[in-house]
Amino acid sequence: MQKLAPLFLCLFILCSCKSEKSERVNSNDNTQVNEIDSSQAKSEKSSSKKDLKNEKILVTSSGKKIKVQYAATSDGLTNINIVPVDFENTSDTFSLADADPVQKLKLDDLDNNGFDELYIVTVSSGSGSYATIYGFASNNDLSLSPVYFPEISEDDLSTEGNYYGYMGHDSIYFENNRLLRKFPIYKDGDANCCPTGGEKILRYKLVPGEASWRLNIEP
């Protein structure tokens, strides 16, 4: 029995080593699987977030780049970023929060000074389909400045106003260095589907203001 004791001790140590090695391998396998699962989850989350965001880079006629990023919010509106990429005196981002969905991005030189402006047209998703215009003008390709677009006032909607009979459904387009806004005219009692007053076109020209650029209606 005394001769067998060392033999039993060797067998016990050998079995313990195998068990410890097996536990170590299993532990490493589990860690590797967890890391792969975590990486896949991050990739899927990143892909999902990227799918919600649109980004476009527009190049002006003078070779400057303007990046426009826009993403839908949970309530159907849109957050928009305007980033001047290679303008010498600014790289600041202009942000538009809770805007209507983007319908059109347009570069045009409305004042014919050799430097394009950026125009963003958004349209509401309701029955009126009201258009909103945002503009950003180049200051000799050194920086960008917002273009002031006058809001529609009660006087504008009066019988003598430029927007008399206006109830949305307008379209925005560009022609001969002018921004044009065309909309149907609603008479009293007209249903939203059926305007009876014909159409009207307003023409806007870009002019320098005291501290910014403006889009003014031509007479």
pLDDT digits (tens, 9 = 90+) for 26-66: 333 332 222 222 223 333 333 333 444 789 999 999 999 99
Q: Would you state the structure tokens that stand for residue 197, as one six-digit string?
A: 């007053």
Domain that holds residue 61: 51-217
Q: Would you state the structure tokens that stand for residue 162, as one six-digit string?
A: 């430029």
Question: How many C-beta neighbours within 10 Å does residue 69 have?
Answer: 16
Q: Is 75 part of any domain?
A: yes
What confidence category does residue 112 fall into, taking pLDDT thresholds of 50, 70 and 90? very high
Q: Is 41 part of any domain?
A: no
Instruction: Determine which helix (DSSP H) or strand (DSSP E) holds 117, and give its type and residue range.
Output: strand 117-123
Q: What is the dihedral of CA 131, 134, 137, 143, to 10 degrees?
A: -160
Question: How confident is the model over 120-132, as a mean pLDDT?
Answer: 92
In this structure, the strands spanning 213-217 and 144-148 are parallel
Q: Measuring CA to CA, which residue among 171, 172, 177, 179 is closest to residue 203? A: 179
Q: Is 109 part of any domain?
A: yes
Q: Is 179 part of any domain?
A: yes
* pLDDT for res 127: 82
Q: Tally the domains of the chain.
A: 1
Q: Is 104 part of any domain?
A: yes
Q: How far apart are CA 40 and CA 5, in angstroms?
A: 54
